[in-house]
Amino acid sequence: MKTHPQGLLLCVLFFITFGLLHLVEAGQEGFISLDCGLSASEPPYFDSTTGLTYTTDNGFVQSGKTSRIDKEMESTYNKPILQLRYFPEGVRNCYTLNVTLGTKYLIRASFVYGNYDGLNKELEFDLYLGPNLWANVNTSMYLTNGVTTEEIIHSTKSKVLQVCLIKTGTSIPIINSLDLRPLINDTYNTQSGSLKYLFRNYFSTSRRIIRYPNDVNDRHWYPFFDEDVWTELTTNLIVNSSNVYHPPQSVMASAATPISKNAPFNFSWSLIPSTAKLYMYMHFAEIQTLQANDTRQLDVLLNGINFYTGFRPKTLATSTIFSTIPDTCEGGKCTVELLKTSKSTLPPLCSALEVFTVIDFLGLETNQDDVFAIKNIQNTYGVSKINWQGDPCVPKQFIWDGLNCNNSDISTPPIITSLDLSNNNLTGGVPEFLASIKSLLVINLSGNNLTGSVPQILLQKKGLTLNLEGNIYLNCPDGSCVHEDGNGGAKKKNVVVLVVVSIALVVVLGTALALFLVFRKRKTPHSEGPPSSSTQTQVSDARTTRSSDPIIVNKNRRFTYSEVVKMTNNFEKILGKGGFGMVYHGTVNDTEQVAVKMLSPSSSQGYKEFKAEVELLLRVHHKNLVGLVGYCDEGENLSLIYEYMANGDLKEHMLGNQGGSILDWKTRLKIVAESAQGLEYLHNGCKPPMVHRDVKTTNILLDEHFQAKLADFGLSRSFPIEGETRVDTVVAGTPGYLDPEYYRTNWLNEKSDVYSFGIVLLEIITNQPVINQSREKPHIAEWVGVMLTKGDIKSIIDPKFSGDYDAGSVWRAVELAMSCVNPSSIGRPTMSQVVIELNECLASENSRKGISQNMESKGSIRSTEVSMNFGTEYTPEAR
């Protein structure tokens, strides 16, 4: 058999090339790389410079046109920058990307104007992520050969991510490329919000931009070097960079160190806006061969304040120091300084620095079930409205044509309440899935060319107004739409006339009855006289004990005392006792279980608290607030009738007094996340806003499904009053949970609740008493702070967890709790931020696949504000 060496060589080269391509593509799992100017007919291409595979953006966006930058500029760029998509129509144009829920992504969009239209002008437009503003894109400084890049690290809240370009003036928005890169969820953690890229520098005299495949996450590392004050260290040896942040080997193989042995290493930058919060990540490795007596130890300072002390870089291994709570820089001027310690013989060094600012995305996306249904409608009918892109309901200025939405409760996702697609030449049938939009109250499909029968599920849906008039080929029940023979119109007209006449008759009769009653009242001689003696005695007694407090005038849900006695079977079964009085089990209508709280004559809480709680619960409704079934206000007999919470309060379960097993970490996290949602609703969903003033574990109740609901609103107060941001009030609350700033100043605001909630968080993490005189620090917040300073994380986590928890979610909860109990209210997060953070913790815990990470002490820290990551370990203790 004859062989052909050249042919054999070609085969070998083919298989090697194919194998390498396969390996590279395998490393891109989860990557989305879009060339936004690539024609739909062009296949994906392999970028030989980066090893990335780019595809057309067709199918990810439903609008826009493609073009190419000016030929004179083509030599300056490579794909995918050579081509672009521009959006001459509509105000909002959006990319829709399928993502993994609860996953952290690096999202990067690149823009090069490149004089594609020959007009040589400046461009300015907005970039949105879902319903929230991400950045203002301005290409004025990049008219010739620059690339405008916007990058963010963001955790997804749904399975769909939308990147939208918004026209803000006369400029036509453009985009050249869009990249998504999944990250390890336990990296780049924030107290709240997402991380907006500011810069990512590695310290080297090289001019090379390092990215994929050297960086497995395709982060872009830009070289920077101050030759006047620094000298460069390099190594040809392998640096172990496999810690959780995994900076590239080529980044860690170089470092900068001061020329003068005793000089500090300084690096400065500016923040825009100057008040922005920041997170920074510093990467170190000892790449110099040290002599026997050489030591390198350094302190890290940010604007003169200790950030980390006594740090020693590891030999040929990457260490990462990063902040776990955001920092700020006075006046927006930031300087990080590395100082040689007294124990060090060598000056400090650093390999790389990443800095991000915090961007809070507080706008919630529309209810995902509603979004799915409305997208289904769009696909079924082929609706091609230019503004049917992005989120259907938010922001309000971009709500889809023909929709009405309800987003009055900012603590819950917006919902779609009406759909108007009348006179749109729609064809086909009326789909059943319209009924799946549970919040939909009105559907108007009149004036179209629909055919077939109307689904019974739509006709039978309670509370739904369905308008199908004018669809002459649609088979409808009599009177519900126009029939082919035309009689339906006459029938409908007759029905309308009858309805109008009926309404008019009711109005006339109602007016006559009102006039009669007024006339009768004026003629009755005793109508202005005193009430009956029994009634007068009752009111007089009440006023005696309640000072000048007015009686509650709302008659809804009001029970008599005899009804209370009957519903509790003469107060037979006691559920518990609180500051208000005894709580009894009862039933309403012999079916609905309730909890009846009776005001004790010796109670420290009086009629003011009773009245406050009734009036609050009569006007607020939320799934995470205990519902008020009714109340009794009869003389000295005051009682509140709540929905029954079968599993009692959180405190009892923490102590193990409810029987069964102690709550695990996931369940506790779910309970506090739900409690936070209730509290956030009081702060932001109520008009006027409310401060609870008594948040604690005994006021978090659990129903039969362990859904948490906040209870006991007797101390709650409305705020602000007449535009104030805080209220001067007599201090009230529970010792240990009470905000020290509020106690000291008497000034109440919503951050007082945040402090109390932070104490609750520390309780569920530690299962320790809030006050314990036998501890080194009696108060739980001070004790946890001391333990963290010592790096002793194991001592604060409830040992009953038995290691069954996600280390990252516990750490984030600890960090969140410590930020909530900040002595200064200004430094505390809002409850909206708390809700977001807890939901992310819960998502992290839910995504865990039975793997718990060890938590061991790794050295000294700056009061929970700094984290470190060594080698291949992820060690929360070092934060």
Q: Which residue has the tokens 């209370």?
A: 564
Q: Which of 26-30, 129-133, 429-433 has the lowest mean pLDDT?
A: 26-30
| CATH numeric code, 197-359 | 2.60.120
pLDDT > 90 fraction of the chain, expressed in percent and rounded: 48
Q: How far is 296 from 301, CA to CA, in rounded Å? A: 16
Average pLDDT over residues 491-513: 44
CATH class as words, domain 401-492: alpha beta
Higher pLDDT, 481 or 420: 420
The pLDDT, as a whole number, for residue 715 is 62
As a whole number of angstroms, the distance between CA 563 and CA 209 comes to 78
Distance CA(698)–CA(583), nearest Å, equals 13
pLDDT (tens digit per residue) in 36-64: 999 999 999 999 889 999 999 999 999 99
Alpha-helical regions (H) of 290-449 = 368-381
- Strand ordering across the sheet containing 305-311: 265-270, 333-340, 298-302, 305-311
Beta carbons of 380 and 424 less than 8 angstroms apart: no
3 confidence band (pLDDT: 50, 70, 90): very low
What mean pLDDT is predicted for residues 260-284? 94
Q: Which pairs count as long-range contacts for 130-133, CB under 8 Å and 24+ apart, including other chains?
A: 130/161, 130/162, 130/164, 130/361, 130/363, 130/365, 130/390, 130/391, 131/363, 131/364, 131/365, 131/390, 131/391, 131/394, 131/395, 132/361, 132/362, 132/363
Contact 278, 271 (CB under 8 A): yes
What confidence score (pLDDT) does residue 538 get? 31
Contact (CB, 8 A) for 84 and 174 = yes
Amino acid of residue 769: P
- Tell me the three state secondary structure of residue 498: helix
The span from the CA of 847 to the CA of 849, in Å, is 6
Residue 773's pLDDT is what?
Answer: 86
Q: Residue 695 in contact with residue 732, Cβ under 8 Å? A: no
SS3 55: strand
Give pLDDT tens digits for 103-117. Answer: 999 999 999 999 999
Residue spans of alpha helices (H) in 168-256: 249-252
Give the residue-averaged pLDDT of 364-375: 90
Active site residues: 694
The two tokens of residue 59 are: 């199918």
Q: For residue 844, what pLDDT band results from cuts at 50, 70 and 90?
A: confident
**What mean pLDDT comes out for the span 748-763?**
92
What CATH number does the domain located at 544-644 have? Answer: 3.30.200.20
In what order do the strands lie in the sheet containing 83-86? Answer: 65-68, 83-86, 174-175
Q: How confident is the model at residue 12, as a pLDDT?
A: 40
Q: What is the mean pLDDT of residues 499-523?
A: 46
Determine the residue type at 145: N
Range with the poorest average pLDDT among 68-72, 594-598, 717-721: 717-721
pLDDT at 232: 97
Helix boundaries (H) for 347-429: 368-381
pTM of the model: 0.58
The answer on pLDDT for 819 being more than 80 is yes
CA 114 – CA 37 distance, rounded (Å)? 13
| Average pLDDT estimate for 351-367 | 95
Q: Is the pLDDT of residue 515 over 60?
A: no
Choose among 473, 402, 503: nearest CA to 443: 402
Domain boundaries, the chain: 25-185, 197-359, 401-492, 544-644, 656-848
For residue 270, the model assigns a pLDDT of 94
Closest CA to 765 of 799, 736, 737: 799
- For residue 554, the model assigns a pLDDT of 45
pLDDT in tens, 330-342: 999 999 999 999 9
Cα–Cα distances (Å) from 169 to 137, 164, 670, in that order, read 12, 16, 45
More confident residue, 879 or 146: 146
pLDDT at 482 over 80: no
> Taking 50 as the threshold, does the pLDDT of residue 534 lie above it?
no
| Helix ranges restricted to H, 311-424 | 368-381
pLDDT band of residue 603 (cuts 50, 70, 90) is low
Question: Is 241:318 a contact under the CB 8 Å cutoff?
Answer: yes
pLDDT 10s digits, 628-638: 888 888 888 88
What kind of architecture, by CATH, is found in domain 656-848? Orthogonal Bundle (1.10)
What average pLDDT score do residues 382-397 get? 92
SS3 content of the chain, % helix, strand, coil (to 5): 25, 25, 45
- Is 64 strand, coil or helix? coil
According to DSSP, the β-strands at 449-450 and 474-475 are: unpaired
Q: Counting Cβ atoms within 10 Å, is residue 659 exposed (0-12), middle (13-18) or buried (19+)?
A: exposed
Tell me, rounded to whole angstroms, the distance of Cα 518 from its chain centroid. Answer: 55
For the segment 702-711, the average pLDDT, to the nearest whole number, is: 90
- Please list, in sequence order, all residues whose beta carbon lies within 8 angstroms of the beta carbon of residue 645, skipping any fewer than 6 positions away: 595, 626, 701, 702, 703, 709, 711
Asked, colleague to colleague, whether 25-185 and 197-359 share their fold, the answer is yes
Angle (nearest 5°) at CA 709 between 703 and 712: 115
Parallel, antiparallel, or unpaired for β 160-166 and 194-203?
unpaired
pLDDT in the model for residue 821: 94
Residue 638 identity: L
Residue type, 427: T
pLDDT tens profile 87-137: 999 999 999 999 998 899 999 999 999 999 999 888 999 999 999 999 999
Residue ranges at the known binding site: 597
Which residues does 593 contact at the CB level (< 8 Å), separation at least 6? 585, 586, 587, 644, 646
What pLDDT does residue 702 have?
92
- For strands 32-35 and 53-56, give the pairing: parallel
CB atoms within 10 A of CB 770: 20
Binding-site residues for ATP sit at 597
With respect to CATH, is domain 25-185 assigned 1.10.1660.10? no
- What confidence tens digit (pLDDT) does each residue in 867-877 have? 445 443 322 33
* Candidate ranges 147-161, 456-470, 832-846; pick with highest mean pLDDT: 147-161
SS3 655: helix
What is the full DSSP assignment across 756-769?
HHHHHHHHHHH---
* Residues contacting residue 355 through CB under 8 Å, at least 6 positions apart: 198, 199, 200, 269, 278, 279, 280, 281, 334
pLDDT at residue 384, rounded to an integer: 85
